[in-house]
Structure 1
Amino acid sequence: MLGHFRDNTRGAAAIEFGVLVPLLTLMVISVVDVGLAVYRKMQVEDAAQAGVEYAVAHGFDANGISAAVANATNSTAITANPGPTKYCGCATASGVNSMTCGSVCPGGALAGTYTTVTAQALYWTIINYQVVPTSYSISMQSTVRLQ
């Protein structure tokens, strides 16, 4: 009688399916979660870029730049924090060195006027994975020369 049960494989596929479904579901949710996090990062990058584009088109206006950052995407979680800054500096290979306005740069040119826009947002994971944080702060910064 025991030999009959040992050779019977009916229902084995249903049991395997029942064991694998939770694992496959977790994998799908994890992939969707990573995709949403990458999408939020792209939204924050676009918002920072929209802020400097506004500064180029309209000049430095902190309120206008902040509004451009906030309205750049359909997400209400993205803010211009800290607010946009305006400063004078000289462009170098490693970035912009802050200088006093009207001073002469090492290359002989006058210091330019720059603005830096920072956009940030929080991303909350879909589920609590226990091994990674449940929220991430995403922050991007763009700098542009105005004059």
Structure 2
Amino acid sequence: MLGSLARHARAAGSDQRGVAAAEFGILVPLLSLMVVSVTDIGLALYRKMQVENAAQAGAQYAIARGFDASGISNAVASATNATNITASPPPVQFCGCPTSAGVSAATCGTVCTGGAQAGTYTTVSARATYYTIIDYQVVAATYTYTAQSTARLQ
């Protein structure tokens, strides 16, 4: 009986059948988590690009049709197929002078340092929240993306 048991133990030690299935069973959860994580990162980056495009669409609307806060907000909301992108904070119109660092606020009609008159600008903001597919416990479960676009109207 002891000899038979030893013989079976030696045979089982050298038997390779089913090893690939056991390894696959161990690795499937890890591979699945990797696929979901990469998909989640891709979807988050896509949402960020949608927010940036929505802010630009609002600025383009203002350039083409003039400043209309509700029209710009609608252009932001309808710029992509995402349903939760909003123009937040609302678009603003202001007078300013272009500088190397952006647009500095100025009184309408004044002369800027470059010699040109202060122009009318609008700043359009877009915001959306992305919720991760699963809760990873080590990173946040939600991300809020914001984008801003400033354009000269006159």
Q: TM-score range, shorter-chain basis?
A: over 0.9
- Of residues 51, 55, 72 in structure 2, which corresponds to 1:48? 55
- Give the count of matched residue pairs: 147
What RMSD, in angstroms, separates the aligned Cα atoms of the two structures?
0.6
Structure-1-length-normalised TM-score: 0.98
* Structure 2 residue identity aligned to 1:124: Y
**Aligned mates of 1:96, 1:53 — CA distance in 2:** 17
- In structure 2, the partner of 1:76 is 83
- In structure 2, the partner of 1:85 is 92
For structure 2, list consecutive stretches of 5 or more residues without a partner in the other structure. Answer: 1-6
Once the two structures are superposed, the pairs formed by residues 98-109 of structure 1 within 5 Å of their partners are: 98-109=105-116
**Aligned mates of 1:68, 1:22 — CA distance in 2:** 43
- Of residues 42, 45, 51 in structure 2, which corresponds to 1:38? 45
- In structure 2, the partner of 1:24 is 31
**Aligned mates of 2:101, 2:20 — CA distance in 1:** 60
Give the CA deviation at 1:108: 1.0
**Aligned mates of 2:49, 2:140 — CA distance in 1:** 20
- In structure 1, the partner of 2:69 is 62
**Aligned mates of 1:57, 1:106 — CA distance in 2:** 28
* Structure 1 residue identity aligned to 2:91: P
Percent identical among aligned pairs is 63
- In structure 2, the partner of 1:123 is 130
**Aligned mates of 2:147, 2:60 — CA distance in 1:** 15
1:110-141 Cα shifts (integer Å, max 9, x gaps): 11110000001000000000110000000010
Bigger-Rg structure (1/2): 2
For structure 1, list consecutive stretches of 5 or more residues without a partner in the other structure. Answer: none
Give the CA deviation at 1:20: 0.4
**Superposition misfits of 4+ residues, deviation over 4 angstroms:** none
